């Protein structure tokens, strides 16, 4: 595709047709490639673009605090507050006790949550597990915070013993802890109750720690899977963030950040130019995103989200079972929708299926649009190609990456 920009006066008459043709081809390519998008946590099946398309003609900008008056009419703060109220209810915090805003994604939510923690505890140390998203260490760099990286267990959960020993060593300084409510690679859930207990055991009182929950993908799944642990502000946590484009499938990157109203004053500053309070990370904010979120949540409702979560849960298990039956090492955490398996040997295969890889593994993220048909096509392709890479031998040992119980390498086969 040649996309170099040419000044309009140099173009010939057909140039606008050419531009349209390029766009049509691009839409066709994307539509085709959707069937091969299984490596990243994006729900590509947003169904409401046609209904919402007329909004694209307006510039909607939610600059400043969502709860203050706006100087122009070109914003969507009423939609934004409606979405925030919905999340506040989901995470069990009263309307008059929370503050939040629609972010540009999970990263911005993490940056905001950790900034609140840092401002409440300026000398605090940030604790985060190795499996935390890279935005957490980015926050430490941006805010020049001391970061203590905690080991992870093989399932991706934080290593509680390592956390405890590091908290004890640094007892003289407050703790700002990032808790993963679904890690990026394995969807492991750090146990909030266990971490609160460790803080208490180590002598950290409520006013000497701050907990931010990174629930980028999983914050919208786990509440809708029966019997799963529920994330709630009833526990002693300071903020929760989630991505809007991941499970819900908003067409543009976005997210939700919720914290306690009493905390937000620590980073709030009145700005006359915008006739509002500056307490968000970015200045201008996408005003379309709250409407896309509001529409999707209203159309799906709790029942729709429950249905989506159940489909992902079942399809992920279906894939893991197929891989195991074919002798391919694979792991799937309880309630998780991410199947981690042996890394394909061929980069063309990895690119074809748009897979994300780490060390000797790759993963498939089963999202609402990841149908059984897509899973079957992927499985068939993998098994066929794998025969070329491995012949009849079994795959590499992945015990360190996914646990010995999930590893089907030749060594384990011989010893079991």
Ligand X SMILES: Cc1ncc(COP(=O)(O)O)c(C=O)c1O
Cα 40 to chain centroid, rounded: 10
CB of 184 to ligand X, least distance (A): 3
Question: Do residues 223 and 205 lie in contact, with contact meaning Cβ atoms separated by under 8 Å?
Answer: no
Cα 336 to chain centroid, rounded: 13
Residue with smallest beta-carbon separation from ligand X: 106
CB of 147 to ligand X, least distance (A): 16
CB of 133 to ligand X, least distance (A): 3
CB of 360 to ligand X, least distance (A): 20
Q: Is 336 a catalytic residue?
A: yes
Phi, psi of 240 (to 5 degrees): -135, 135
Q: For residues 137, 140, 146 and 149, what is the CA-based torsion angle, rounded to 10 degrees?
A: -20
- Footprint of ligand X (CB under 6 A): 41, 105-107, 110, 133, 135, 180, 183-184, 214, 216-217, 243, 253, 255
Question: Do residues 385 and 344 lie in contact, with contact meaning Cβ atoms separated by under 8 Å?
Answer: yes
Closer of 138 and 307 to ligand X (Cβ)? 138
CB of 2 to ligand X, least distance (A): 30
Q: Tokens 């980028």 identify what position?
A: 216
Closer of 75 and 245 to ligand X (Cβ)? 245
Closer of 276 and 280 to ligand X (Cβ)? 280
Q: Which one is catalytic: 129, 152, 336, 410?
A: 336
| Sequence-separated (6 or more) residues with CB below 8 Å from residue 189 | 157, 180, 181, 182, 218, 222, 229, 333, 335
Closer of 215 and 382 to ligand X (Cβ)? 215
Closer of 151 and 170 to ligand X (Cβ)? 151
CB of 338 to ligand X, least distance (A): 10
Closer of 174 and 253 to ligand X (Cβ)? 253
Question: Do residues 298 and 87 lie in contact, with contact meaning Cβ atoms separated by under 8 Å?
Answer: no
CA distances from 290 to 50, 83, 223, 264, 282 (A): 16, 7, 21, 21, 15
Of 296, 285, 297, the closest CA to residue 59 belongs to 285
CA distance from start to end of the chain: 54
CA distance 171 to 203: 8
Which two three-digit tokens encode residue 318?
Answer: 């279906």
Question: Do residues 282 and 132 lie in contact, with contact meaning Cβ atoms separated by under 8 Å?
Answer: no
CA distance 5 to 264: 45
CB of 246 to ligand X, least distance (A): 7
Q: Quickly list DSSP for 124-164.
A: PEEEEETTS-HHHHHHHHHTT--EEEEPB-TTS-B-HHHHH
Closer of 255 and 396 to ligand X (Cβ)? 255
Active site residues: 336
């Amino acid at each position: 595709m040649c996309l170099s920009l040419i000044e309009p006066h140099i173009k010939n008459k057909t140039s606008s047709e050419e531009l349209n043709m390029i766009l049509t081809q691009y839409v066709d390519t994307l539509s085709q490639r959707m069937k091969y998008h299984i490596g990243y946590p994006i729900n590509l099946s947003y169904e409401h673009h046609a209904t919402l398309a007329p909004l694209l003609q307006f510039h909607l900008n939610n600059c400043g605090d969502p709860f203050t008056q706006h100087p122009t009419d070109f914003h969507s703060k009423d939609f934004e507050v409606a979405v925030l109220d919905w999340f506040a209810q989901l995470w069990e915090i009263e309307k008059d006790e929370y503050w939040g805003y629609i972010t540009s994604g999970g990263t911005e939510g993490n940056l905001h949550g950790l900034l609140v923690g840092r401002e409440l505890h300026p000398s605090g140390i940030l604790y985060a597990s190795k499996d935390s998203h890279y935005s957490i260490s980015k926050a430490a760099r941006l805010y020049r915070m001391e970061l203590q990286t905690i080991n992870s267990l093989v399932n991706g959960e934080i290593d509680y013993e390592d956390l405890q020993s590091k908290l004890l060593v640094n007892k003289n300084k407050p703790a700002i802890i990032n808790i993963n409510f679904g890690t990026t690679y394995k969807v492991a859930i750090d146990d909030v109750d266990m971490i609160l207990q460790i803080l208490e055991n180590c002598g950290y009182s409520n006013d000497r720690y701050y907990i931010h929950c990174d629930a980028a993908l999983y914050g919208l799944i786990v509440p809708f899977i029966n019997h799963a642990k529920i994330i709630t502000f009833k526990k002693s946590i300071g903020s929760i963030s989630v991505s809007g484009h991941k499970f819900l499938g908003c067409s543009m990157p976005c997210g939700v950040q919720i914290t306690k109203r009493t905390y937000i004053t620590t980073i709030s500053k009145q700005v006359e130019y915008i006739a509002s309070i500056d307490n968000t990370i970015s200045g201008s904010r996408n005003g379309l995103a709250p409407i896309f979120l509001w529409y999707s949540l209203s159309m799906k409702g709790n029942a729709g989200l429950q249905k989506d979560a159940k489909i992902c849960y079942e399809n992920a298990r279906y894939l893991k079972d197929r891989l195991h039956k074919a002798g391919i090492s694979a792991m799937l955490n309880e309630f998780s929708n991410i199947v981690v398996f042996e890394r394909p040997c061929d980069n063309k295969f990895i690119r074809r299926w748009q897979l994300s890889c780490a060390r000797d593994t790759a993963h498939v993220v089963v999202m609402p649009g990841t149908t059984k048909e897509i899973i079957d096509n992927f499985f068939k392709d993998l098994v066929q190609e794998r025969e070329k890479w491995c012949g009849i031998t079994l795959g590499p040992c992945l015990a360190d990456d996914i646990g010995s119980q999930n590893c089907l390498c030749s060594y384990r086969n011989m010893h079991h």
